Amino acid sequence: MSDDGDAKVLSGNEVSKEIRDSLKKNVSELSKKLPGFRPGLAIVQVGGREDSNVYIRMKLKAATEIGIYAEHVQLPKSITEGELLAKINSLNIDPKFHGIIVQMPLDSSNKIDSHLITDSVSTDKDVDGLNTINEGKIAVGDLNGLLPCTPNGVLELIKRSGINIAGKEAVVLGRSRIVGTPCAELLKWNHATVTVCHSKTENLKQICARADILVVAIGQPEMVKGDWVKKGAVVIDCGINAINDPLKRNGQKLVGDVAYDECKKHAAYITPVPGGVGPMTVCMLMANTIKSAEKFADRMLDTKWKLQKLSLNILSPVPSDIAISRSQVPKLITTLAEEVGLLPNEVSAYGNKKAKISLTVLDRLKDQADGKYVVIAGITPTPLGEGKSTTLVGLVQALAAHKDKNAFACLRQPSQGPTFGIKGGAAGGGYSQVIPMEDFNLHLTGDIHAVTAANNLLAAQLDARIFHEATQTDQALYDRLVPANNGVRKFSSIQLRRLERLGIKKLEPETLTIDEISKFARLNIDPTRVVWQRVVDVNDRYLRKITIGQSPTEKNFTRVESYSISVASEIMAILALATSLDDMKQRLSKMVVAFSRNGTPVTADDLGMTGALMVLMKDALEPTMMQTIEGTPVMVHAGPFANIAHGCNSILADNIALKLAGKDGYVLTEAGFGSDIGMEKFFNIKCRASGKVPNAIVLVATVRALKMHGGGPPVLPGSPLKPEYTQENLQLVENGLCNLIKHIDNGKKYGIPVVVSINVHKNDTKAEHELIQKAALKHGAFACVTSNHWAEGGKGALETAQALIDACNQKSEFKFLYDLETSIEEKVNKIAKEMYGAGQVDFNAKVREAIRLYTEKGYSKLPICMAKTSNSLTGDPNIKGAPTGFRLVVNDMLLSAGAGFLVPLIGEISRMPGLPTRPAIYDIDVDTKTGEIIGLF
């Protein structure tokens, strides 16, 4: 008590100011730990009640003073319950808000269940503490979550009195779910003996009079009188009531549920009204918001995944890939997403086994350090493939599931062509594969279909434009291109860009001269110089050359056309190289589809196609996440043809994975074919576009491939291996080591360590492996280890994983092979001589003319994307080993201006594979009883 015998005043204003000052420091500390981070609070209001507006202004003011970003989400009275729930859900998944409150009462003209609304607020963002789950936690003594604001403020004021709550008798007048009941629970779990009184309680006065702590939240003005209060008690008045007072200007004054003047003569401590519990409620709301924000920030700062691995049931002999895939029950993709640090709003699930990942991850994690960046390449393969994808998956399983490292696999999406042709799937194999295999190898999330649709829409517009220009005058073309709508003509945005490129600085269609109309409307495309091809995602040899325009409606405007497989489309290469939506838009606009009769490049933007292409490709720009058979994460995105394009998965998939892995994590990405093709393009094209610096190379080799390069008989798909490959033959291995040595040398040219991984096959011998290891180490490999991941999963790749970790700890001295400023011929020569071992490069007259044209049009500074066979270091697929000094002939040169590279063609490169006599189609079916796909692998 004070000196005059009255109770000491527990001022909520003073206590809350002290707490707010402390909260302000917490916000400052948060921003230091996470630059740019700020706690966020959303205050949802339905309607516009003035009493609610007063409270909202108080909360907004308090938030601003502390440093919390607060947004008043004001919704109309006409909102329905469903619309309000949808709005709250959007706030639940919005990462900029860490607290959400719904201002009560709801001022709605529609019937809305307020309890349903408060329960719809995420428990992690329920800073009012009104969600039933949060209420239930308090009831069972879990006080680590978000506590209801008024009861928490009450408890803080009681503690400020200095009373030892434990063992004291506490009485709570009122049992509302917002104040009375949670107050009682908080006091109980702070070890007071609690009695809850309500309107049906008898002998209220006597019960209250024995309370050491009296909390009043009954809603009756000045109900508790002085003789209800025990001498020396702590009295907390939660009420606020307006009563008549003729002495006040407005005729009213605010009083609590306690007769203050009477009770203060008995109590030791008492709260005033106003200025007591009220300010504490707002203060605790801010404290909860910061508590939620700190929890969110801790998750961002703690980049170590909480990954639950999936156990393998290893069988011997190893069953079929599909049998292994189906033997595993994958985690829910949303569970995996949460384990690797993704937020709900960043994940769009396609069923429960795969999901699109939003590019907003990159914005959220822009200040987070990247993981280690590793490319998986190979020696020159046999037609059966040497297991780069399988090695990549096995290595990631070893790192993430066995060595407890954050590790992402990043793979290309396979085309349907090989799946239904002869190669089969590309999801890895054995106990190192991506699951479900059917999803991975078929439609996935539709990206290849989007590429096909976009590519063919552009082709349709191109041929339609040729037709319309051939059948109309300049004025007729112009009138149709810029029609009057409701009597008004105006240029579209894309047409204004064309005018700017033409140097026509006019904005009104009526102001163009006759000459300007002609320049604008007529692209003057040369039908013999159309370079854009239609695509389809199947192996269809009869589309390699066709004639289009044979219908009478096309008026004999026919031309010879060629189809490519969808993954050979330049749009697929752009999908793989784009770094953002805006970057993709710029690249799509620059695609050269034809040349005019005077040699001017005609672009997709000239055809008015950029926006339409973006609409079709927008969702495809998001990578798809899946999982390995051991439950580790995989990004699957883009699949550019490795011969005609750069053969790597997307930059965006890698970038997202690098951020999620964090500075101590690893991202393993694949390059198509051998180091001469895929790895060279990965470094000189992909890394140039992404700006990422790789840390190591894993070079996959097999005894089988080295024997082939050492003079072994041909390896043919579908045919049994000859005895040379199934029995030990050290001489053939030794003869073929030259190919491995060349690929190691190729890797070393880029200044980063090369780890050789021998992909173990069942017929290999220890002596053969030791021979390879000795040669690899002698010729500069950082390490050379065997890996049995196909038969054992991640456990079989542990030695390779450790070698990779050690290699990544070396300082990267990465450098590009060539300077973009050098001429086209110099860049081609550099690649041919240094990567392939060529002695001379020949450019025929057609190629030299193309080089002249591309240089003249400003394309000479682009990187080079060599198109040559993957079956040899030379341009001849039949030549094995590692020959030197040979002649390399460039037959043609294509421009991929949107993707951003030039494509020299070496030898015959088909962009449309054909089906063999007996394709995999014969074995593929659906079990109509179970719905399972059979025969796919």
**Active site members:** 59, 103, 128
Please choose, from the candidates 913, 930, 934, the residue with its C-alpha nearest in 3D space to the C-alpha of residue 922.
934
Burial 725-741 (b: 16+ CB within 10 A, else e): beeebeebbbbbbbbbb
Q: What are the CA-CA distances from residue 131 to residues 709, 752, 778 (Å)?
A: 68, 54, 67
Q: How many CB atoms lie within 10 A of CB 691?
A: 9
Edge-to-edge strand ranges of the sheet holding 99-102: 69-75, 40-46, 99-102
H or E element, residue 590: helix 581-590
Q: What share of the chain is helix, strand, coil (3-state, %, to 5)?
A: 40, 20, 40
- Give the integer Cα–Cα distance in Å for 590 and 577: 14
Q: Residue 712, class by beta-carbon neighbours within 10 Å (0-12 exposed, 13-18 middle, 19+ buried)?
A: buried
DSSP 8-state code for residue 94: -
- Give the integer Cα–Cα distance in Å for 277 and 152: 10
Q: What are the CA-CA distances from residue 272 to residues 13, 238, 243 (Å)?
A: 10, 9, 16
- Give the integer Cα–Cα distance in Å for 405 and 666: 8
Helices 798-808 and 388-397: angle between axes, nearest 10 degrees? 80
- Give the integer Cα–Cα distance in Å for 477 and 482: 9
DSSP E strand boundaries for 845-900: 886-896
Please choose, from the candidates 432, 427, 397, the residue with its C-alpha nearest in 3D space to the C-alpha of residue 666.
397
The first and second tokens of residue 554, run together, are 């096309």
Q: Strand 633-636 vs strand 69-75: parallel, antiparallel, or unpaired? A: unpaired
Please choose, from the candidates 812, 783, 782, 817, the residue with its C-alpha nearest in 3D space to the C-alpha of residue 675.
817
The first and second tokens of residue 138, run together, are 């308090």
CB 413, CB 447: distance < 8 Å: yes
Report the 3 state secondary structure along 478-530. HHHHCCEECCEECCCHHHHHHHHHCCCCCCCHHHCCHHHHHHHHCCCEEEEEE
CB 120, CB 89: distance < 8 Å: yes
For 249, residues 6+ apart whose C-beta sits below 8 A from its C-beta are none
* Amino acid at residue number 38: R
Query: How many CA atoms are closer than 13 Å to the CA of 199, on its beta-carbon side?
Result: 4
Report the 3 state secondary structure along 613-663. HHHHHCHHHCCEEEEECCCCEEEECCCCCCCCCCCECCHHHHHHHHHHHCC
Please choose, from the candidates 130, 108, 111, the residue with its C-alpha nearest in 3D space to the C-alpha of residue 49.
108
The vertex-706 CA angle with 712 and 411, nearest 5°, equals 125
* Amino acid at residue number 18: E
- Give the integer Cα–Cα distance in Å for 604 and 899: 13
